[in-house]
Chain A
Amino acid sequence: MTGLLDTLLAGLALGAVYALVALGFVIIFKASHVMNFAHGSLLLLGGYLTAVLHDDLGFAGALAVGVLATAALAGVIDRVLLQRLPQDPKAAHVATIVTIGIDILLVTDLARRIGGDLLSLGDPWGDEVRTLGPVTVADSRLAAIAVSALVIGVVFALFRYSRWGLSLRCAAEDTEAAALQGIRLGRTRMLAWCLAGALAALAAVFLAAFPATGLERTTGQIALKAFPAAILGGLASPVGALAGSLVIGLTEAFVITYQSDLHVLGDGLSDVAPYVVMVLVLLVRPNGLFGAKGAARV
């Protein structure tokens, strides 16, 4: 019983962090029809900046710089590189391929700087563990759940109530009609990239925190697990990204806990499980959990 609750909390914490990454994917896709393959390297950049700056600036200061710098870089990538490409949704695959190039550049440089090290981000939770009734849980995991819930709540409120959120939803639905309202499409899109970059940088903190041992050059590959989460949810649906992330997080946690029982399927199943779940869900719901929702009368 205890094992079950522990696993549930661990899954929730993982899912919460994946949600930060997957939500970024979805926001970028919704705003620009681009699959951002550079998302993992943006995440790594945010983590790296936090790691190298926390001695001088303290954790909070370093994190703030990491988040802002990553947001700025994401915005620059979109405005300076991607928005110059033909602005036709059908040509978005060109921009997607450009992001692969950006990813290779960024990852190569960061991997060179990080080398084989494990960088501490100087987060305040350390390896503290607390006991809540029947379960034992790491502080860092509780923090991941609390911070993600708060940040995701703010993002959803922005979507719903802010001028930017409304502009984004209008532009995603009908670019020309949005333009005719005087919505600044380029700026709306750039801000979406900035927000997604900020979310990725924040996620890096929790991916490097206990029980992980620190930031490594491969930490950015975690973004690969947020891919199935986003696709599972429907790719253009923020709510779907949330649901997909929780599914992936819980799946992973349970597969890790019961790895020994699943031994017949081979070791390392937890790395494969997200994709297995994605394929199974897509077999049943080809548009994802929340894809293509809403009725329209023409």
Chain B
Amino acid sequence: MPRASDEASTLRVENLDVTYGRAVSALRSVSLDVPPGSVVTLLGANGAGKTTLLRAVSGTLRLHRGAVTAGAIRYGETVLDGQDPVAAVRAGVVQVPEGRRVFAALTVDENLRSGGLGLGRRTPERIKEGRERVFTLFPRLAERTRQQAGLLSGGEQQMLAIGRALMAAPKLLLLDEPSLGLAPQMVERIAEVVREINAQGTSVLLVEQNAGMALALADHAHVLEVGEVRLSGPAAELARTDAVRRLYLGEADATEGATGHATDETAPGGPERGAA
């Protein structure tokens, strides 16, 4: 739950414009806040700009030939737009990339060690604490420290990717589609983990296509459509609006068969139509 709200650890995105290759506009005037201790989710279809926003925060836009062309990103006092990823990690903002991206040829233990590399030298104490935290959260990883990460199951890899990020002792965790390609049971487990991490005092910015899961977890939600914020509000309120129910929660309308339950990544038909 939110601790005493200190301005020092609020992520503030203001009127952000992002362009790829100097030509393709990916985000237009996007603003959002992630207050300390909160979970904020970002919903939207493929190509809406969700990942782009995370890249802008974590400083990896440049690897994709993207750049912030207007606006600002601040985490507390630290300016993050235009910085490299090292700056974000040092400021306590760590991203778990979409598709997990664990280092497949390295062992579980080495993957966790890699998460602590951003802390700089002489941090054995924090590394040890981080490892204990990760193993408490994911006992299954503790049993597999010497195993090659590429041989873990999808769910275990997602746990490892989150664990790796936790090794840097983040104050704000950026999660890009953690439920992608996972079995429903595992999605439930990941949701529990996010709740637990948040309860330990880490704020979370969660990007999801699984809107059901995301809205259940989040305090606040934003809906992105073709690079612009279309809807914002408390998650519970947004979950009740017609547009969100129809487009993101997959509730029946005239043109689609009644599925009745939360969408998953295999049913992107609705959101895509919404973006068109």
Contact = CB atoms under 8 A, between A and B. Distances in A.
B186 to A, nearest CB: 15
Given A169-B103, A176-B97, A177-B101, A183 B150 contact: no
Interface in A175-203: 175-184
A297 B153 contact: yes
B115 interface: yes
24 contacts: A163-B121, A166-B106, A166-B114, A166-B117, A170-B106, A173-B104, A174-B101, A176-B63, A177-B97, A177-B101, A178-B103, A179-B60, A180-B85, A180-B96, A181-B117, A181-B168, A182-B88, A182-B119, A183-B86, A295-B148, A295-B150, A297-B150, A297-B153, A297-B157
Interface of B: 58-60, 63, 84-86, 88-90, 94-97, 101-106, 110, 113-115, 117-119, 121, 148, 150-154, 157, 164-165, 168
Interface string A82-122: 00000100000000000000000000000000000000000
Identify whether the interface residues of A are mostly helix, strand, loop, or mixed: helix
Contacts of B117: 163, 166-167, 170, 181-183
Contacts of B119: 182
Interface of A: 87, 163, 166-167, 169-170, 173-184, 294-297
Contacts of B97: 176-177, 180
Contact of A294 (B60, B85, B118, B148): B148
B104 to A, nearest CB: 4
Given A180-B85, A180-B95, A182-B119, A294 B105 contact: yes
B101 A181 contact: no
Contact of B85 (A87, A166, A179, A295): A179
A192 B157 CA distance: 29
A170 B151 contact: no
Nearest to B119: A182
Contacts of B150: 294-297
Given A180-B85, A180-B96, 18 more contacts: A87-B63, A163-B117, A166-B110, A166-B114, A176-B60, A176-B63, A176-B97, A177-B101, A178-B103, A180-B58, A180-B60, A180-B97, A181-B118, A181-B168, A182-B118, A183-B114, A296-B105, A296-B150
Contacts of A179: 59-60, 63, 84-85
Contacts of A295: 148, 150-151
B233 to A, nearest CB: 30
A163 B88 CA distance: 20
Contacts of B101: 174, 176-177, 180
A184 B104 CA distance: 20
Given A295-B151, A296-B150, A183 B118 contact: yes
Nearest to B157: A297
A173 B103 contact: yes
A182 B165 CA distance: 10
B153 A181 contact: no
A173 B101 CA distance: 10
Nearest to B86: A182
Given A169-B106, A170-B106, A173-B105, A181 B115 contact: yes
Contacts of A296: 104-105, 150
